[in-house]
């Protein structure tokens, strides 16, 4: 696990484009565009809301909870890899909707500019969202960005795994279920926007969980890829393991049957029309009706590390076998892009993998965002994108409450 980056507010980074959205008292927005011309891949990431460092966060949490945090309840967030995170002020439901529609559409428009694409050329938009502000959010921001109605719009609700679930669907044709649209086959060779948009400040604002209020914040990231060309699927695994204990219980703010499908999957797949699909993951929801409830930080470790290591090991062994078959046994994973749940979880995963003889760089890159759920893998990837070379093999490791895992190895370009 690489060293954590220098402490700096996201808005203070030299390449961040800063704006103010005129909603409520005015909401700061920051976007940073990244492009790698060698690969033909670009994208944009960012955040919105006021930036709070660790010293100022307890006051915000006290305001949200209606009481001050006890000294023993204040997390050592820097030790967990988080020094800043962004939060919005208290807004009405109507203002939250308008704000996140504006945020999402601006992100897509800026990503199109960065990739040098016309909106009319985009044939797919796949977005991971833990708690969407509206069920039709992806369709609405796509329309606001000028993307054609004929483009495929896919909303993926698998908690922090959402963006990796979306990328996996765009790349791996083997994920298709009988009788369902094969998303990867439809999008192969097409211009596609894939990412995660997480308004977690809104999501956790009404919660009373002290840890969640300190860990989570707003974040988003979208990349432009051409599946099968600029990014090629090698091997991967999508895995579900229901969180019976509710170690990280999350309310489903999206339609779900709340019962397993005939296949035993926790996933509902609903296709509203030929171009609109919702992938909805079953969650163990908080008993108190709030948005999120955590069984402490050790609960997250228990939830994500053991199974998470196993899924990564399975994919890595499959990757090695593929390289052997292709006569490229010396080829290795250049970089691992791992969900940033917290620094200690990722270090522990790296240690367990090392004991299995599996080692590759897994840098920690998001100290200025907090845990931003499905956005974290995309932000981490964009921050490393300028250093990635043609032909590099990248391993994406997504995991989220529920519990869901999407791990895949990809080849960058030809």
Q: How many CB atoms lie within 10 A of CB 167?
A: 31
Indicate whether 2 pLDDT > 90: no
φ/ψ region of 407 (left if φ > 0, alpha if ψ in -120 to 50, else beta) reads beta
C-alpha 145/C-alpha 86 separation (Å) is: 24
* Mean pLDDT of the 133-162 span: 98
Q: How many CB atoms lie within 10 A of CB 229?
A: 14
pLDDT for the residue numbered 297: 83
Q: Among 3.40.47.10, 3.55.30.10, 3.40.605.10, 1.10.260.40, name the CATH number for the domain at 10-412.
A: 3.40.47.10
Mean pLDDT of the chain: 94
C-alpha 5/C-alpha 26 separation (Å) is: 29
Phi, psi for residue 59 in degrees, rounded to 5: -65, -40
* Mean pLDDT of the 31-57 span: 97
pLDDT for the residue numbered 179: 80
pLDDT for the residue numbered 91: 96
Lowest mean pLDDT of 2-11, 20-29, 343-352, name the range. 2-11
- pTM of this prediction? 0.96
Termini Cα distance of the chain: 28
pLDDT for the residue numbered 291: 94
pLDDT band with cut points at 50, 70 and 90 for residue 33: very high
As a three-state string, the secondary structure of the chain is CCCCCCCCCHHHCCCCEEEEECCCCCEEEEEEEEEECCCCEEEEEEEECEEEECCCHHHHHHHHHCCCCCHHHCCCCCCCCCCEEEECCCCCHHHHHHHHHHHHHHHHHHHHHHHCCCHHHEEEEEEECCCCCCCCHHHHHHHHCCCCCCCEEEEEEECECHHHHHHHHHHCHHHCCCCCCCHHHHHCCCEEEEEEEECHHHHHCCCCCHHHHHHECCEEEEEEECECCCEEEEEEEEEECCCCCCCEEECCCCCCCCCCCCCCCCEEEEEEECCEEEEEECCCCCCCCCCEEECHHHHHHHHHHHHHHHHHHHHHHHHHHHHHHCCCCCCCCCEEEECCCCHHHHHHHHHHHHHCCCCCCCCCCCCCCCECHHHHHHHHHHHHHHHCCCCCEEEEEEEECCCEEEEEEEEECC
C-alpha 153/C-alpha 140 separation (Å) is: 10
Q: Which two tokens stand for residue 58?
A: 């307890």
Indicate whether 330 pLDDT > 90: no
Indicate whether 76 pLDDT > 70: yes
pLDDT band with cut points at 50, 70 and 90 for residue 339: very high
Indicate whether 55 pLDDT > 60: yes
* Mean pLDDT of the 184-207 span: 96
Q: Any idea what the Cα angle at residue 181 is, between residues 177 and 183, rounded to 5°?
A: 95
- Kindly report, residue by residue over 154-182, the tens digit of the pLDDT: 999 999 999 999 999 999 999 988 888 99
pLDDT band with cut points at 50, 70 and 90 for residue 7: confident
pLDDT for the residue numbered 302: 86
C-alpha 300/C-alpha 294 separation (Å) is: 8
* Mean pLDDT of the 54-77 span: 93
pLDDT band with cut points at 50, 70 and 90 for residue 1: low
pLDDT band with cut points at 50, 70 and 90 for residue 260: low
C-alpha 341/C-alpha 376 separation (Å) is: 8
Widest CA span in the chain: 62
pLDDT for the residue numbered 414: 67
Indicate whether 263 pLDDT > 70: no
Domain boundaries along the sequence of the chain: 10-412
* Mean pLDDT of the 132-137 span: 96
Indicate whether 385 pLDDT > 80: yes
* Mean pLDDT of the 11-32 span: 97
C-alpha 9/C-alpha 83 separation (Å) is: 8
- Kindly report, residue by residue over 97-121, the tens digit of the pLDDT: 999 999 999 999 999 999 999 999 9
Indicate whether 41 pLDDT > 90: yes
pLDDT for the residue numbered 261: 52
Cβ atoms 188, 227 nearer than 8 A: yes
pLDDT for the residue numbered 350: 97
Indicate whether 314 pLDDT > 70: yes
Q: Which residue has the tokens 């994108």?
A: 385
Phi, psi for residue 215 in degrees, rounded to 5: -85, -40
């Amino acid at each position: 696990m690489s060293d954590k980056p220098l402490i700096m507010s996201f808005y203070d980074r030299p390449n961040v484009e800063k704006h103010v959205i005129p909603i409520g008292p005015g909401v700061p927005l920051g976007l940073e565009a990244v492009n790698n011309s060698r690969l033909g891949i670009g994208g944009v990431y960012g955040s919105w809301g006021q930036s709070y460092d660790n010293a100022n966060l307890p006051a915000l949490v006290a305001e949200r909870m209606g009481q001050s945090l006890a000294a023993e309840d204040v997390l050592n967030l820097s030790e967990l890899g988080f020094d800043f995170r962004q939060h919005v002020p208290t807004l009405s439901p109507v203002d939250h909707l308008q704000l996140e529609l504006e945020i999402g559409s601006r992100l897509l428009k800026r990503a199109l500019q960065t990739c040098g694409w016309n909106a009319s050329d985009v044939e797919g938009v796949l977005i991971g969202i833990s708690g969407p502000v509206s069920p039709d959010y992806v369709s609405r921001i796509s329309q606001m960005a000028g993307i054609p109605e004929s483009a495929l719009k896919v909303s993926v609700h698998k908690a922090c795994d959402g963006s990796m679930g979306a990328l996996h669907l765009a790349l791996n044709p083997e994920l298709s279920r009988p009788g369902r649209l094969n998303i990867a086959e439809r999008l192969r060779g097409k211009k596609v926007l894939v990412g995660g948009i997480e308004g977690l400040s809104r999501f956790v604002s009404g919660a009373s969980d002290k840890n969640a209020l300190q860990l989570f914040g707003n974040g988003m990231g979208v990349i432009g890829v051409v599946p099968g060309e600029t990014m090629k699927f090698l091997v991967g695994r999508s895995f579900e393991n229901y969180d019976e204990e509710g170690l990280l219980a999350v309310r489903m703010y999206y339609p779900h049957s709340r019962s397993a499908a005939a296949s035993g999957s926790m996933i509902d797949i609903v296709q509203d029309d030929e171009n609109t699909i919702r992938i909805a993951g079953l969650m163990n929801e908080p008993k108190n009706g709030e948005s999120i409830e955590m069984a402490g930080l050790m609960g997250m470790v228990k939830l994500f590390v053991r199974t998470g290591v196993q899924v990564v090991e399975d994919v890595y062994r499959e990757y090695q076998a593929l390289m052997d078959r292709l006569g490229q046994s010396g080829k290795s994973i250049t970089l691992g892009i791992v969900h940033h749940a917290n620094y200690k979880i990722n270090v522990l995963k790296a240690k367990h993998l090392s004991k299995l003889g599996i080692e590759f760089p897994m840098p920690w890159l998001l100290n200025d965002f907090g845990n931003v759920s499905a956005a974290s893998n995309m932000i981490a990837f964009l921050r490393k994108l300028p250093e990635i070379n043609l032909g590099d093999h990248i391993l994406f490791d997504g995991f989220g409450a529920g519990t869901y895992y999407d791990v895949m190895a990809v080849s960058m370009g030809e």
